[in-house]
Structure 1
Amino acid sequence: MDICRRNNVTVTGRADGPVLLLAHGFGCDQNMWRLIVPALAETYRVVLFDYVGSGQAESSAWDERRYNSLEGYATDVLDICEELDLRDVTFVGHSVSAMVGVLAAAKAPERFSRLVMVAPSPRYIDEDGYRGGFSSDDIDELLESLESNYLGWSAAMAPVIMGNEDRPELGQELTTSFCATDPDMARVFARTTFLSDSRADLKTVTVPTLVLECTQDVIAPREVGTYVRDAIPGSRLVTLEATGHCPQLSAPQATAAAIADFVGAA
């Protein structure tokens, strides 16, 4: 199957500009980047895509065995890089995709020059000496609710994840995105996401890295941003004046500016 069709790849911006590869998180698709793309496209070649199982990607390419680990999603990223012959790539990963970017860069370091991690979390479950934001019971309950009634879970959780109660349209947009995802595929991606532990992989990062966090984020509390910054030597941590887990929607100008400043300075 053609990779660009499989992953619904979209390329915009300056054809001769530095490459930004934008990767969405769980329950989302490339549309989540739409508010920051116009500003970035003035300077960069912006590549967007949907993971198989999300958005407008080819659902016929879904394979539960492949996508029950983050390695499967990293393979999607590398397939796209190979298909488009992308090099000197700045990988911009939202949420769990930040860790997908870490895995992809470790497998094909010749293709990646920078990482931007937007609201990342290498592990969601608390452990002695580590705060991920959730207890094991929290995650078990979350996954049980998601698996028994995905649409109901989406309607209840998406506004909480988005935050910004004074802007309910943002929560509704995330709810719509979650509900548009095939429930069976979403269940696999959810388990892959919320049960992952990528902390050991952070030590493999050797490229300049920017960690973007929000002032309040129920999915990735600020202790996580500090942990990721400390685990990746030389990385930068920037706290956006934004709340919730999706600053590319809630604070697009600040998010785009932080990315552009980092790529220009790195």
Structure 2
Amino acid sequence: MDRKESLIQVKDLHKSFTMGKEEVHALDGVDLDIGKGEMVCLLGPSGSGKSTLLNALAGLERPNKGEIIIGGIHLEKLDEEEITLFRSLNVGFVFQSYNLIPTLTALENVSLGLILKGVDKKTREEAAEEILIRVGLGERLHHRPKELSGGQQQRVAIARAFVGKPVLVFADEPTGNLDTKTSFEVMGLMKTMMEENHQTMVMVTHDEEMTVFADRTLHMRDGKIEKVVHRHSPDEYNKEEPGHKEDSHE
């Protein structure tokens, strides 16, 4: 790994699904090494295997063959209860569809994840309020999801993912429902927070513009990593303009 201590190691990962009479190889012998503090983007067309790989890394999909080692722990050897505990202690998620609980306020949605960590109510609410202010929603603490715009809902989802300062953040098409300007704001926010907390992030996207934020972009096709692109400058994402594509990081 260049300059970074390894956090995630994937060895000869395979995952197949049966669709009708056909067997689909969603992951076909993937090898991967991700360093601590690195942001890696999985890019590819629909059916390339990027979401299956993300789900496997998060322990949401069981591989048919291969190893997933995170911080020295073999995920493929854990049972469901152990994987659930591993996720609650180490992982934050940001989804395209936000996945907020509609009956809860922004504050309640964000503080919810800290219950599993055994944090008391007062501390949970203080932490949730602090991070919501941090993401620009200090005036929206007691609003429910339906009272927020898409961009605001995604900021709540980001606050929820980051509030417990997890080692790992997985983001699945986090800007898929947002316009370009809001997408860049949301990505800049996630990038800044992960760097401040020395976290590692793996993100799935089909939007090549968003890859400018990543340290590395893994281009996937047919269940394999076809190409790896490194970002040249660590500050590039601050200068990137919406609509400006590959030439700055290819």
Q: TM-score, normalised by structure 2?
A: 0.32
By percentage of residues, which structure has more helix?
1
Normalising by structure 1, what TM-score? 0.31
Higher strand share: 2
RCO comparison, higher one (Cα < 8 Å, 6+): 2
